Amino acid sequence: MLDRLLGNYMLEKGLLSKGQLIQAFQTQESKRAKLGVIAVSEKLMTIAQAEQVNALQASMDKRFGDIAIEKGYLSEIQLSRLLELQGNSYLSFVQSLVDDGLLSMEQVTKAEEDYQKENGFTATDMAELKSGNIDRIVSIFIDSADEAYKKLFSMAIKTMYRLVDNHVYIGKAYRTNSIRAEVLGYQKYRGDEKATVAISGKYADVQKVAIAYTKEEFIETEEDALDATCEFINCIDGLYATEKSLEGIKIELDPPEFFVSYTEATGPIVAIPVYLSGGEILFFGTIAEDMKIG
């Protein structure tokens, strides 16, 4: 997720053009990050140390990790950890930026530090963002006072990651009493837990999500988008209800409903912006209280 978050930050700051960012994302799909890039990103080696080891490789028939251990820059345990991270999405993105000559490692490191500072993230937060673990990442973007929403929102984002777009990313969650949107789909559930879960946005963006979810290219009518979005919301809530049932909590789902004209939702709402499939939607809900639709 940090690849998309930092990539868009770089775009906003003028470090990359839109074309360059697209290029980096395309290159990323076929990249495995090199150990030097990972070691610097994980702050286990300095840029100078990584460059020194890279230079030594040109004259020595040894792997990067072996040389780094010999020089005392890495331990065996640290090297094992770096090897595990080679398939990491964020680190592959960094590797693409460097290999394509779009940014230097120094520029990437500086952008990462600036992004962390501007968003008030801790070093632990940044490590979690790099990890790609959605449960832990969602916790960073939801205020600690909203514990009741973390499992629900995590299930939603994981479902989007698995079924819609494996490059989904999110913004900061927030509380509001009203959301008005061009299109809005929702589902209520009751039982041992009571809640309303909803997705809203511009029709064009919701249509993109519907196409990605159904894998059908010809979702052109509002009715098709309605059906697909309702099915998607039901999928999220069904998975959540199944998970809760393992804790002995019984949940019954109402049929989902959808509006394709400007509609307002009101109540004590917690919402989170979600960016996927080239669009932006809002995922939101209320737990234990009523949400009024329309």
| 35-45 pLDDT, tens digit each | 888 899 888 99
d(CA 171, CA 174): 9
**219 SS3 class:** coil
| In contact, 33 and 88? CB cutoff 8 Å | yes
pLDDT, tens only, 89-111: 898 899 999 999 999 999 999 99
Kindly report the pTM of this predicted structure: 0.80
Average pLDDT over residues 122-143: 90
Going by DSSP bridges, is the β-strand pair 263-276/174-181 parallel, antiparallel, or unpaired?
Answer: antiparallel
| pLDDT band of 144, cuts 50, 70, 90 | low
Start-to-end CA span in the chain (Å): 34
Spatial neighbors of 287 by CB under 8 A, at least 6 apart, are 148, 149, 152, 193, 194, 195, 270
Q: Which residue has the tokens 């501007």?
A: 118
